[in-house]
Chains A and B, each alone.
Chain A
Amino acid sequence: MIGHMILRNILHRPARTLITVIGIAVEVTLVILVVGLTTGLLTESAKRTEGVGADIMVQPPSASIWAAFSGAPMPIRIAGKLKKLNYVQAVAPVLVQFNSVNGLDIVYGIQPDTFSGVSGGFVFHAGHGLEAPDDILVDDVYARAKDVRVGQTLHILGHDFHVAGVVEHGKGARLFVLMSTLQQMSGAIDKASIFFIKCDRSDHTPAAMDEIRQLLPGYEIRPLKDFISLMTSSNLPGLSAFISVMIGIAVAIGFLVVFLSMYTTIIERTREIGVLKSLGASKSYIVEIVLSETMLLCILGSGFGVGLSFLMRWVFVTAFPSMTILILPRWVMFSGMIALAGGLLGASYPAWIASRKDPVEALVYE
């Protein structure tokens, strides 16, 4: 009976129902997309780093796993020492720069021969490798997103580069230039940000890491096999707080929408509440009706929000092909639970007000 009554109530005021459902859907979409975007960027970045093909990544002491944040403080001659260690097959020094012109991109300054030694070389979709100092390679995702073709000029890091080739994505960065050029541009002559190391056999990785630790005590030496698991929002300063704030804003939106919607509903249905009370409906019965209606609105809003999230992801990825948004089932569930909790919290005061209405005053309410 309560279910039927709630359904009829929801259908009776379609505009109010729609606005409430949209409000909750926005809340759910915001949570899913914010988390999906950050998770997507992290995972995609981690996969690309893994895609370099190295077994070990060496960074200076206290360096962030976010290579672009760590500058280039390591002398490049370390590469020679690393190359001489047991189990080390190849070493590729990389200078990493962060480009913020026309989007946010990581640029790898590489030595084509050493980088190929570790990664196995690029797969070219078009063009050729880095030859001239101003040559640049872009990956296919970047080329598609920015409509970049071989032969055109690309303005990156305040410098005009000549697009020499388009390569298959997944080798650490989307943009590659000669290390010597990037060193000159950034004033980091003979410096590197990362050393990617390829072992002669992957099961020699722990032994190689031990040798590197003896050679470079205090340096950050990480196996790339488990790199994805390290790329979490908690490892990026402020990202967890950003996500929490965004979720908080989303919950506040849902809370306010439900609160206002149910509060107006309670005022509008004052006489009906009086009727229910005259029939002997208890306070808990009235609270149950209000909260059950809220729950149904939250479920509808969550479902709509999940659908909207997939739609928005499609829109974003179509408009910005380099963007990765991961919609994770656990966050879909979590966003629904957040919406439900926020909604019930928002409806609890109106429900309490409704349950305490004086039946006589309610019955004469116009």
Chain B
Amino acid sequence: MTTDAVALENVKVSRSTKSSWAGLFVGVVVVLILATAPYVVGRGLQQNLVILFSLIVLGTMWNLLAGYGGMVSIGQQAYIGIGAYGLVVCGDIIGLDPFVSVALAVVIAGVISFPITFVAFRLSGGYFAIGTWVIAEVLRLIVMQVDVLGGGSGITFQAMSESMSPGRRIAYVYWLSLVAVVIAIAVTYLLMRSRLGLGFTAIRDDSVAAGSLGVRVVRSRRLVFVVSAMGCALGGAMIAASTLRVEPESLFSVQWSAFMIFIVVIGGIGTIEGPIVGAIIFFALQQWLSDLGTWYLVILGVLAIVITLYLPKGVWGLISGNGRIRLFPVGYTLKNPLEKYSLAGRAKKDIA
């Protein structure tokens, strides 16, 4: 007993690890280097990076929903569409500043997604997944009936291309996307490190048990759903600002959800690093196999199935040695001077 007491006095609970400090440093350096890209590289590469950044944002948001909130949605394209159309409405139709329009589009998505949760949360599991999809379809079918939004054939985003030269516009969109990536990751990281984050982890593992311990399950899920919707709208606004063309069939396409799911599952569900790794793999395959039409999706789909069944922690799980390296630690680590003390060793693994 006495040795235990001594050992426990020396135990420190830590929220960071050596790898996370290194990760933060590398992360800041990478973002700073990426920020200089418009001065260094051409427009084509910048536009490609915008695609990659939007995939990271979307993957991060889907992971927030499924990996932390335990909700598999195949209807996140609803908010991608709202973000894109919101940008066009605020920027072109109302005539606001493009960057203010992006922020407003994100807020609009949050406001619309809130009442939607009251419908969608009536379903759970796989039925929740299809239910969110039906809601996205309803939005698509309604948008297609609105003439101001270009109906079924879509609308062109003009505010940015009228007020600045193409080179300048692409650089601004690039920086916007880079900021969006940082925001998406930072929000997820801070949310998961907060008291709420601990509750989310409990909900993901067993929502009934979490509820009985006082975690406000439905309220927490609602918060995650709304934040995820806002993040997807940010991604949608990025896509619209980059491609300048907003069409209901492509923005409200279920294919976006397929992209997000593949990115998260392949990268590693339930980690912040996973969607980043997954988005890079997805983007690389998409570019590499672009001559072969949609075969990259077949390959990614098969990969996602195999990884779900045989490697549930994804590629990041492999890289990090099943979570030993954490760039974004959201859990708690026990540091014990008596490393042999078995509980500490085990707790390190368990409290994640």
Are A and B co-members of a single complex?
Answer: no
Residues of A within 8 A of B (CB): none
